[in-house]
Amino acid sequence: MHARVPQVSDYMTSDPMTLSPEDNLMQALETMRLRGVRRLPVTVGGTLVGLVTEGDLKRAEPSMLTESEEGFNRVMEGTPISRIMIQNPVTVTAETPLVDAAETLYNTKYGALPVVSGDRVVGILTDNDLVHALVDLLRGDPPGNQA
């Protein structure tokens, strides 16, 4: 008898919070802080069009050393996500073997992969999700155990 091969669906975050390309950088920053996440898929009507990361936001935000708070807020509120988002991000499906998704993250040095069904976002798999999978593996727990 063979053990079932863990899939992305065993560890992904289902129905992640998303942004639209028109949302501004401040909205993305606030959403990430409130939700405690570092990456958000960008969608139009549920269809994946991009991915925005905490690192993208940090690189795009003006320095508080050279900008006043008003100037900082003006840039952050006046810049749409579409200006900085990763377009056509690498994706996986819920049925993708977890080892293949992990290999993709390792080889690309990305921190997350949007999970799609067709072109619709159904989840996100992050490096933290893979650490969870590793803990399960090392404990001998079945895939997706919520210990």
pLDDT digits (tens, 9 = 90+) for 84-93: 999 999 999 9
**Is residue 67 predicted with pLDDT exceeding 90?**
no
User: What is the 3 state secondary structure string of the chain?
Assistant: CCCCCCEHHHCCEECCCCECCCCEHHHHHHHHHHHCCCEEEEEECCEEEEEEEHHHHHHHCCCCCCCCHHHHHHHHHHCEHHHCCEECCCCECCCCEHHHHHHHHHHHCCCEEEEEECCEEEEEEEHHHHHHHHHHHHHCCCCCCCC
> pLDDT-based confidence at 147, cuts 50/70/90?
very low
Chain segment 2-41, per-residue pLDDT in tens: 567 899 999 999 999 999 999 999 999 999 999 999 999 9
Structural domain of 61: 8-139
Q: How far apart are CA 133 and CA 61, in angstroms?
A: 34
45 belongs to a structural domain:
yes
pLDDT at res. 144: 61
Question: Considering the domain boundaries, does residue 69 fall inside one?
Answer: yes
Give the residues across from 39 on adjacent strands. Answer: 53
Name the domain count of the chain.
1
Asked if the model's pLDDT at residue 114 lies above 50, the reply is yes
Spell out the SS3 assignment of 54-67.
HHHHHHHCCCCCCC
CATH number at residue 62: 3.10.580.10
Q: Is 122 inside any structural domain?
A: yes
Does position 1 have pLDDT exceeding 70, yes or no? no
Name which residue leads in pLDDT, 140 or 77: 77
- Is 68 inside a domain boundary? yes
Select the more confidently predicted residue: 140 or 145.
Answer: 140
Position 115 in a domain: yes
Counting residues of the chain whose pLDDT is more than 90, the rounded percentage is 74
Does a structural domain hold residue 112? yes
